[in-house]
Amino acid sequence: MAYKVGIVGATGAVGTELLTLMEQRNFPVSELRLLASSRSAGKKVEALGTTHTIEEVKASALEGLDFAIFSANGMLSKELCPLAAKAGAAAIDNSSAFRMNPEVPLVVPEINAEAAKSHRGIIANPNCTTVIALMATYPLHQKFGLKRMISSTYQAVSGSGLNAMEELERQMGQLSRGEDPSVEAYPYQIAMNALPHVDAFLDNGYTKEEMKMVNESRKIMGIPDLIASCTCVRVPVMRSHSVSVDAEFADPVDVDAARSAIESAHGIDLVDDPGNLAYPMPLDFANRENCGVGRIRKGMAFENGLSFWVVGDQLWKGAALNAIQIAECLLD
C-alpha cells in the first residue's frame, strides 16, 4: 500500500533531509505534496525520482493526505496540524507546539512506538537534543532504573536551520581572510566560539531548550518524577549534536552491563574504546541513522552513577528520521 504524504516546510533544512530519507528508506508514497511559504511557491524540486512544484502551504493543500509531516514554526503547526488531522491525515509535528499536550503522543520509536498508535490525529516529534540523549539513556534506564539525569549539550548550528549553517561557513571564510565576521543568526559570532544559550531565557534562568530536555524526557520515558537538569551550548559544528550525561540509577551499575545494554539496543552504536582513542564524534555521525555512545564509565558524583557521551545527527535522528520512523509505525 502507498500513501499520500505532504511535507510542510519542504524547502528548509529538515524538509530537505525528509525527502532524502524517504527515498533511502523506500517509504511507500503514491502522492507527494511539497508545501512551503508563498516565497517558495512555484519552485521546482527533484524528489523521489520526480520533479515536484512547491505549493503554498494552506488548509486546502492538506486535504486527502494520509500523512502530513510538519517542519515549520510552532505558530503554523498550531494552526494547521488540527486541520490536517480533521481532514484525515496523521499530522507528525516537529515543532514544540504539541509536545507537552497530554493528549498528544511524544514519540521516539525505539522507546515508545506504541504511543504513536494511540494518536488522535497529531503526533509530536521531540526536541532534537532530547531524542539523541535518550537514545543512550533509555537502554540504561531499562537495565538499572533511572532516577536522576544531569546533562550538558554541545549543539550543532544545524539546529538553527540553513541560515545558521551558512553563517558558520561564511564566518570561517571571513576569519581565514582576516576579515571581521558578520553576525546575523546568533547574538554573537559562532565560529571559533561557544554560546551557552540555545533558545530564549526563562524566568528560572534556564532556556526553553533546557526545559524541553527536562520535561520531554519525563514524558517519553514515562518517569514523571525524574530529577533532571540541563545546560545547552551552541558550538561551531555544522551538524550532529553531542550530549554529556551524568545519570543516577536505582540499582547498582556495572560498566560492562551498561555496554551490553547499549549494544543490544536498536538505533545506537557503541563506540567505546578509550585505549585506542575510539569514541563517537560529530563528524563520524553526520548523515548516519544511528546515534553513537561512548566514554561509559562509573560516575563520581552519584553512588549508582554512570557518565557517558552520546552523539547523533540533529537533522536525521534528531528530526527528519525520527518523523519518518513515526510514520512507519503507522503503516498498514
Reported confidence tier of residue 73, pLDDT bands at 50, 70, 90: confident
Q: Which three cell numbers stand for residue 163?
A: 541560515
DSSP tag of 216: H
pLDDT in tens, 219-259: 999 999 999 999 999 999 999 999 999 999 999 999 999 99
Q: Tell me if residue 241 is catalytic.
A: yes
Task: Please determine, for residue 332, whether its predicted confidence score (pLDDT) is greater than 80.
Answer: no
The CA distance from 144 to 122, in Å, is: 32
93/139 same-domain check:
no
120 and 219 within one domain? no
Identify whether residues 120 and 72 lie together within a single domain: yes
Count of domains for the chain: 2
The pLDDT assigned to 9 comes to 94
The span from the CA of 207 to the CA of 210, in Å, is: 5
Residue 323 structural domain: 3-126+319-329
Q: Which three cell numbers stand for residue 75?
A: 505558530
Separation of CA 202 from chain center: 22
Name the active-site residue from 119, 232, 241, 291: 241
Is the same domain home to 149 and 188?
A: yes
Same domain assignment for residues 276 and 134: yes
Q: Are residues 121 and 146 in the same domain?
A: no
178 and 120 within one domain: no
Strands of the sheet containing 122-124, edge to edge, are 55-56, 29-36, 3-8, 67-70, 90-93, 122-124
230 carries an active-site annotation? no
> Are residues 274 and 168 located together in one domain of the fold?
yes
Active-site annotation holder among 81, 128, 232, 291: 128
- Per-residue pLDDT tens digits for 166-213: 999 999 999 999 999 999 999 999 999 999 999 999 999 999 999 999
135 lies in the same domain as 122:
no
| CATH code, domain with 188 | 3.30.360.10
CATH of the domain at 55: 3.40.50.720
Q: Is the pTM of this model over 0.75?
A: yes
Whether residues 159 and 235 fall in one domain: yes
Q: What is the pLDDT of residues 14-56, one digit of tens each?
A: 999 999 999 999 999 999 999 998 888 889 989 888 999 999 9
Tally of CA atoms within 13 A in the half-sphere of 99 that contains its CB: 25
User: Using an 8 Å Cβ cutoff, are 234 and 186 in contact?
Assistant: yes
Are residues 140 and 275 both part of a single domain?
A: yes
Burial of 294 (0-12, 13-18, 19+ CB in 10 A): buried
Q: Are residues 115 and 166 in the same domain?
A: no
End-to-end CA distance of the chain: 7
